[in-house]
Amino acid sequence: MIHLLIVGVLVVVATLGLGLLLTQTGILPAQASQQAITIDWLFDIHFWFIAFFVALICVIIVYSLIVFRRKQGEKGDGVYMHGNQRLEIIWTIVPIGIVLWMAVIGGQTLSDVERRDPQAITVDVFASQWSWRFQYEVTTAEGVQTAVASDVLVLPRNQQALLRLHSQDVIHSFYVPEFRVKQDILPGGEKYVRELRITPNTNGTYTVQCAEICGQGHYSMLAEVQVVDGAEFTSWLTEQAADCNLSDAECGLRWAETFGCLGCHSLDGTAKIGPTWLGLFGHAVELTDGSTVTADHNYLLTSIVDPNAQIVAGYQPNVMPQNFDELLSEEQINQIVAFIESLGN
């Protein structure tokens, strides 16, 4: 009996120590959404179960090795035990009960995470190798419905956001660690659009990352997430909905950032997945077929609307999206060309 008492006390102490270590020392990133609160509650339950079972197993093993080891001079084998039916019933029924209980609270947690708010704002998220684009529907002062695209995901605090996730090429995965929720993004059109609901509750800047290996640029598929107050969000949305009143080159930079061009093309000569734009305009470009062309206005224009027509030597076809002529207006494409031309020749 004394051995059981000592083991019980050691298990309790070890469980408390390990449980507090797992739940109170910031192993998980900071919470930044209502969903994170619910999910972390479930995480903590798992952590305490882990702490208990690790403590139980390790204490019994270590205690047995120390206390019941064969002493010097002892002979003979230990006492042979042929099973214990009562103990076997207990360690079968108890885990089954735990699993069933975890299934119930897991279902409740999933229901809380996916609870629908009829006042949720809708954001269409477009994932492509290797960039993110976020599109909002805005009604202007004249009552006209227009789409606003951004390379930054801006969300109002304490208001649910319904994210409609689209892939333009391969499987991606939307994940912001501070929000705790993650959803794979599937190609195949509207039929395969997935939805994810997030209610941010803490102002700040976070990072959305692709959590599904999606090609050689997967490591750089990141985008900024900003959680702001409702008034600031409305002001930002209004500003984004306004026409670009900058120069053609400055507007071109804006569209290049928004539509992920700079994820593959550098502005400083750094080698990336696509050719650098620095000093490209006006220079001779060697193609994969051995021919050489001059990177003039028409060449740049064709490279955007028909990227497989002239592949630069050392680079692969079918990497750049083939539908920029659908995503961008003619004016936007010409502005991007103007921006490339402004980078020198």
Q: What is the pLDDT of residue 3?
A: 82
> Between 232 and 318, where is the model more confident?
232
Residue 144: pLDDT band with limits 50, 70, 90: low
For residue 236, is the peptide bond before it cis, meaning its omega torsion is within 30 degrees of 0?
no
Residue 139: pLDDT band with limits 50, 70, 90: low
- Residue 211 · residue 175 · CB < 8 Å: yes
- Residue 9 · residue 63 · CB < 8 Å: no
Q: For the segment 11-51, what is each residue's pLDDT rounded down to a tens digit?
A: 999 999 999 998 888 888 899 999 999 999 999 999 999 99
Q: What is the pLDDT of residue 168?
A: 83
As a whole number of angstroms, the distance between CA 134 and CA 120 comes to 16
Q: For the segment 64-112, what is each residue's pLDDT rounded down to a tens digit?
A: 888 887 777 777 676 777 778 888 898 899 999 999 999 999 999 988 8
Q: Which of 288, 284, 307 is nearest to 296 (CA)?
A: 284
Out of 109-113, 133-137, 260-264, pick the least confident.
260-264
SS3 134: strand
In the predicted structure, residue 121 carries a pLDDT above the cut 80:
yes
Buried b (16+ CB within 10 A) or exposed e, 108-134: ebeeebeeeeeeebebbbbbbbbbbbb
DSSP letters spanning 241-262: HS---S-HHHHHHHHHHHTTGG
- Residue 210 · residue 218 · CB < 8 Å: yes
- Model pTM score: 0.72
The percentage of residues in the chain with a pLDDT greater than 70, rounded to a whole number, is 94
In this structure, the dihedral spanned by the alpha carbons of residues 35, 40, 42 and 47, taken in order and rounded to 10 degrees, is 160
Q: Which residue carries 């002062």 as its tokens?
A: 141
User: Can you tell me the mean pLDDT for 214-220?
Assistant: 86
How much is the mean pLDDT over the chain? 85
User: Can you tell me the mean pLDDT for 209-232?
Assistant: 90
Tokens of 320: 């750049």
User: Can you tell me the mean pLDDT for 170-193?
Assistant: 92
As a whole number of angstroms, the distance between CA 127 and CA 185 comes to 8
